[in-house]
A and B are shown apart, each in its own frame.
Chain A
Amino acid sequence: MEFPLNATLARRLRRNDLEVLRAVDGVDLEIERGEVLGLVGESGCGKSTLGRCLVGLYEPTGGEIHFDGATLPARRDKATRRRMQMVFQDPYSSLNPRMTVRQTLTELLRVHHVVPRKEVDARCKELLDLVGLGQRSLDAYPRQFSGGQRQRVSIARALALEPDLLVADEPVSALDVSVQATVLNLLDSLRELLGLTILFIAHNMAVVRHVCDRVSVMYLGRIVETARTPDLFADPRHPYTRGLLSAVPRLTPGRVSTAVAVTGDPPSPVDIPSGCRFRSRCPIAQEICAEVDPRLERHDARPGHEAACHFAGEQRTGPVPRAESRA
Chain B
Amino acid sequence: MSEPLLEVRDLSVDIVLSRGTIHAVDGVSFALEAGAAMGLVGESGCGKSMTLRGILGLLPRTGRITGGQVLFEGKDLVKGGQRGLREVRGGGISIIFQEPMTALNPVMRVGDQIAEGPRHHLGWSRSQSRARALELMRMVGIPDPERRMRAYPHELSGGLRQRVMIAIALSSEPKLILCDEPTTALDVTIQDQILKLLLGLRRDLGVAIVFVTHDLAVIAQTCETLAVMYAGRVVETGRVEQMFREPHHPYTLGLLRSVPDFDAVRDSLEAIPGMPPDLASTFSACRFAPRCQFAQDDCLAGEVDLHEIDGGRTVACLHDDACAAAASADPVIARV
Which of the segments A72-80, A107-115, A255-263 contacts the partner chain? A255-263
Contact yes or no, A181 B271, CB < 8 A:
yes
Specify the main secondary structure of chain A where it touches its partner.
loop
Q: Of B215, B220, B254, B263, which is within 8 A of A321 by CB?
A: B263
Q: Provide the residues of chain B in CB contact with A251, threshold 8 Å.
A: 216-217, 220, 244, 256, 259, 261-263, 332-333
Contact yes or no, A249 B260, CB < 8 A:
no
Q: Of B157, B220, B334, which is within 8 A of A249 by CB?
A: B220
Q: Of B158, B263, B269, which is within 8 A of A250 by CB?
A: B263
Which of the segments A119-127, A199-207, A283-291 contacts the partner chain? A199-207
Is B106 on the interface with A (CB-CB < 8 A)? no
Is A6 on the interface with B (CB-CB < 8 A)? no
Whole-angstrom distance from the CB of B137 to the nearest CB of chain A?
15
Contact yes or no, A324 B267, CB < 8 A:
no
Contact yes or no, B196 A260, CB < 8 A:
yes
Contact yes or no, B188 A205, CB < 8 A:
yes
Q: Provide the residues of chain A in CB contact with B241, threshold 8 Å.
A: 253
CA A250 – CA B263 in complex, angstroms?
A: 7
Of the candidates B143, B189, B255, B269, the one having the most CB atoms from chain A within 10 angstroms of its own CB is B189
CA A262 – CA B196 in complex, angstroms?
A: 12
CA A321 – CA B244 in complex, angstroms?
A: 19
Q: Of A206, A258, A262, which is within 8 A of B261 by CB?
A: A206
Contact yes or no, B220 A181, CB < 8 A:
no
Of the candidates A178, A182, A256, A265, the one having the most CB atoms from chain B within 10 angstroms of its own CB is A178
Q: Of B189, B265, B268, which is within 8 A of A261 by CB?
A: B189
Is B301 on the interface with A (CB-CB < 8 A)? no
A to B contact number (C-beta, < 8 Å): 149
Whole-angstrom distance from the CB of B174 to the nearest CB of chain A?
22
Is B66 on the interface with A (CB-CB < 8 A)? no
CA A185 – CA B273 in complex, angstroms?
A: 13
Q: Provide the residues of chain A in CB contact with B95, threshold 8 Å.
A: none
Q: Provide the residues of chain B in CB contact with A185, threshold 8 Å.
A: 268-269, 271
Of the candidates B187, B218, B244, B254, the one having the most CB atoms from chain A within 10 angstroms of its own CB is B187
Is A16 on the interface with B (CB-CB < 8 A)? no
Q: Provide the residues of chain A in CB contact with B272, threshold 8 Å.
A: 178
Is B306 on the interface with A (CB-CB < 8 A)? no
Is A4 on the interface with B (CB-CB < 8 A)? no
Is A210 on the interface with B (CB-CB < 8 A)? yes
Contact yes or no, B189 A42, CB < 8 A:
yes
Q: Of A176, A179, A264, A326, which is within 8 A of B264 by CB?
A: A326
Whole-angstrom distance from the CB of B142 to the nearest CB of chain A?
11
1/0 per residue, CB under 8 A from A, across B201-216: the answer is 0000000000000111
Contact yes or no, B264 A184, CB < 8 A:
no
Whole-angstrom distance from the CB of B310 to the nearest CB of chain A?
19
Is A188 on the interface with B (CB-CB < 8 A)? yes
Whole-angstrom distance from the CB of B56 to the nearest CB of chain A?
25
Contact yes or no, A203 B221, CB < 8 A:
no
Residues in chain B within 8 A of chain A (CB atoms)? 43-44, 143, 157-160, 187-193, 195-196, 199-200, 214-218, 220-222, 240-241, 244, 254-256, 258-272, 275, 332-334, 336
Residues in chain A within 8 A of chain B (CB atoms)? 42-43, 146, 176-182, 184-185, 188, 203-207, 209-210, 243-244, 246-254, 256, 258-265, 321, 323-327
In the complex, 24 of the A-B residue pairs with CB atoms within 8 angstroms, ordered by the A residue number, are: A42-B187, A43-B187, A146-B275, A177-B255, A177-B259, A180-B271, A185-B269, A188-B268, A210-B265, A244-B189, A247-B191, A248-B217, A249-B192, A249-B195, A250-B221, A251-B217, A251-B261, A254-B220, A262-B189, A264-B143, A324-B265, A324-B334, A326-B265, A326-B266
